[in-house]
Amino acid sequence: MTLPVLYSFRRCPYAMRARMALILTSHTCELREILLTDKPDSMLKISPKGTVPVLQLEDRIIDESMDVIKWALRSGSEKMHILSEDEEAMSDSLIQLFDSKFKYHLDRYKYSSRYQSIKEEHQEKCLEILNNLEQKIFNQPWIFGKLVSLLDISILPFIRQCKIANPEWFKSQKFNRVISLLEHFESSELFNKAMEEFELWDPKKPKVLIFPS
């Protein structure tokens, strides 16, 4: 059986969450690390929209990160928190919020010159969303307690980007539970395994690199 191929970009939050889902469900794949500025033809041929992650299976292509996660999680994972009905509703609505509104403001906060946006306005909108999340966190070390959940892996890569944009500002905010959650995430084995560096995949000299290694 041929291994699934994952086209990935290490720092991409969407690819990050897909890699974490693969780790948590003990899936192994061939990882092809790409540059967003030089996407390989083999990737564009199977997914012309040109975003990562792209998972190439024997019988189909999955090129949306949440679909990669759903595929990985189809038989569940004993390492992950099982969501109750209420938690699932909360998780779905927060993932939707972070993928749309939070990401929108995050981009305009981080890349204000590219977007010609007013940085402070978008920082404030990110802050509102994070303050709101703070009111929904009651457990430790992950959002639903001792096991990591779909919600943690889906939104934490974006919260991390918000911190990276200005760590001093981020750490001086009052959302202490969000800060602890992010610190736990960044020091977790899961995150560190997902962030392992892979050499760039070169279609002219293709090497099969296995993820997780």
Ligand X SMILES: N[C@@H](CCC(=O)N[C@@H](CS)C(=O)NCC(=O)O)C(=O)O
Residues 193 and 32 sit within 8 Å (Cβ to Cβ)? no
Number of chain positions touching ligand X (CB under 6 A):
12
Q: For ligand X, which stretch binds (CB under 6 A), given 7-15, 130-138, 139-147, 164-172?
A: 7-15
SS3 62: strand
72 contributes a contact to ligand X by CB under 6 A: no
5 contributes a contact to ligand X by CB under 6 A: no
Which CB, 66 or 83, lies closer to ligand X? 66
Which pair of structure tokens corresponds to residue 125?
């909108």
47 contributes a contact to ligand X by CB under 6 A: no
Q: Nearest 5°: phi and psi at 14?
A: -70, -40
Tell the smallest beta-carbon distance from residue 202 to ligand X (Å): 19
Which of 40, 46, 61, 64 touches ligand X by CB under 6 A? 64
Which pair of structure tokens corresponds to residue 149?
């959940």
65 contributes a contact to ligand X by CB under 6 A: yes
12 contributes a contact to ligand X by CB under 6 A: yes
Cα 140 from Cα 132, distance rounded (Å)? 17
Residues whose CB falls within 8 Å of the CB of residue 206, separated by 6 or more in sequence, listed in order? none
Tell the smallest beta-carbon distance from residue 62 to ligand X (Å): 9
Supply angle C-alpha 67, 25, 150, rounded to 5. 55
Tell the smallest beta-carbon distance from residue 136 to ligand X (Å): 22
Which CB, 8 or 77, lies closer to ligand X? 8
Which CB, 7 or 175, lies closer to ligand X? 7
Residues 210 and 31 sit within 8 Å (Cβ to Cβ)? yes
Binding residues for ligand X, per CB under 6 A?
A: 9, 12-14, 36, 50-53, 64-66
